[in-house]
Amino acid sequence: MKTNSKATDLVKKDKKNTQSTRLLVTEPTPLLIFLLQKLSGKSRHNVKALLKNKQIKVDQHIVTQFDFALITGQTIEISNEKAPEEQHYKGLKIVFEDEHLIVIEKEEGLLSIATEKQKDFNAYSILSGHVKKQNTSNKIFVIHRLDRETSGIMMFAKSEKVQALMQESWNATIRERTYLAVVEGKTEKQSGTIVSNLIESKALIVYSTQNPSLGQKAITHYETLRQNDSYTLLKVNLETGRKNQIRVHMQDLKHPIVGDKKYGATVAPIGRLGLHAWVLAFTHPITKENLYFETEIPKKFIKLFENRFTKNKLILEKNKLVK
């Protein structure tokens, strides 16, 4: 592998006059070597500090791994400021907050909002308490939800105005909504699209119908990332966002999500539902800034495919995992 990498330097100023430097990778090289070559005067210790402080992004993704393998065409962004500290609460952590929105990473097992049976401990109640620490009159508002046993990225609004803006322009505002799903068996196709109308029964079970006059249309795109003899890891993109959509469509595919007894699963190898909201990208309703949030792949997911997740073989390329 060649390590003498060339790059085009671009400097970008944001509205607060902070600076970030952008570098275009033109030859494959490890990230640390690339940064040492381009950041004259920076020691190895200085560069590793930038990585530790989450000041380095590769194609909009924060990267902290010093030996991350760069490929031609990727863009490196170096921020002059440390990433804000994530605030942790039991069951969730806040990964972004401004005066309009809160973006969180929710753990599996935590409700998004209250139910008749459990009214006190949920993401909504936790965040309500959080914003009231700043001002007792502050409130939060639900934009969308994740199922209790689904982990990952979700967001809340801090005003009814922002809530309405996000919900009314959802399809135009959301640029990417990607999930990871661990399903039973080996999928026959490497990728595909599932289209059906979804209906909810009186027993609160959602099911598919091909009758266009019933239910709501749901479109799910999937792509195989990893497989072994027993399970498949899928990257799933939602074109629509219906209740239990991915879970029902995986059942329709004859490959139910592991741990999802409600929708046909027969095994639970990771002790939880194998569904994770991995990426959420959207245009901020007020500032119009394009925001991108990505979580780590759950360790329990990786463990099922650990022989395929060896060091330096996970390369993030334009939101895809490749060998």
User: 196-230, pLDDT tens digit by residue?
Assistant: 999 999 898 999 998 989 999 999 999 999 999 99
Range 86-113 average pLDDT: 92
Q: How many whole angstroms separate alpha carbon 316 and alpha carbon 68? A: 9
Q: Are 279 and 235 in contact, with CB atoms under 8 Å apart?
A: no
Structure tokens at 21: 């430097």
Range 87-112 average pLDDT: 93
Q: Is pLDDT at 154 greater than 80 in this prediction?
A: yes
- pLDDT-derived band at 84 (thresholds 50, 70, 90) equals low
pLDDT the model gives residue 82 = 75
Q: What is the pTM of this model?
A: 0.73
- pLDDT-derived band at 120 (thresholds 50, 70, 90) equals confident
Range 133-139 average pLDDT: 92
Q: Are 280 and 177 in contact, with CB atoms under 8 Å apart?
A: yes
Range 90-104 average pLDDT: 94
Q: How many whole angstroms separate alpha carbon 269 and alpha carbon 289? A: 40
- pLDDT-derived band at 132 (thresholds 50, 70, 90) equals very high
pLDDT the model gives residue 105 = 96
* 98 is a catalytic site residue: no
Q: Using CA atoms in the order 123, 124, 126, 131, what is the torsion angle rounded to 10 degrees?
A: 130
Nearest to 239 by CA among 277, 278, 208, 194: 194
Over residues 226-278, the pLDDT tens digits come to 999 999 999 999 998 899 999 999 999 999 999 999 999 999 999 999 999 99
Contacts 24+ apart (CB under 8 A), 265-273: 265/184, 266/184, 267/184, 269/230, 269/231, 269/304, 270/182, 270/300, 270/301, 270/303, 270/304, 271/300, 272/108, 272/109, 272/149, 272/151, 272/300, 273/108, 273/147, 273/149, 273/150
Q: How many whole angstroms separate alpha carbon 27 and alpha carbon 24? A: 9
Q: Is pLDDT at 104 greater than 60 in this prediction?
A: yes
Q: Which of 147, 229, 252, 260 is catalytic?
A: 147
Q: Is pLDDT at 51 greater than 60 in this prediction?
A: yes
Q: How many whole angstroms separate alpha carbon 191 and alpha carbon 115? A: 36
- pLDDT-derived band at 16 (thresholds 50, 70, 90) equals very low
Q: How many whole angstroms separate alpha carbon 119 and alpha carbon 279? A: 28
pLDDT the model gives residue 308 = 54
Residues of the chain above pLDDT 70, percent = 88
Q: Which amino acid is at 71?
A: I
- pLDDT-derived band at 18 (thresholds 50, 70, 90) equals low
pLDDT the model gives residue 34 = 94
Range 120-149 average pLDDT: 94
Q: Are 206 and 192 in contact, with CB atoms under 8 Å apart?
A: no
Range 34-58 average pLDDT: 89
Q: Are 158 and 166 in contact, with CB atoms under 8 Å apart?
A: no
Range 66-77 average pLDDT: 90
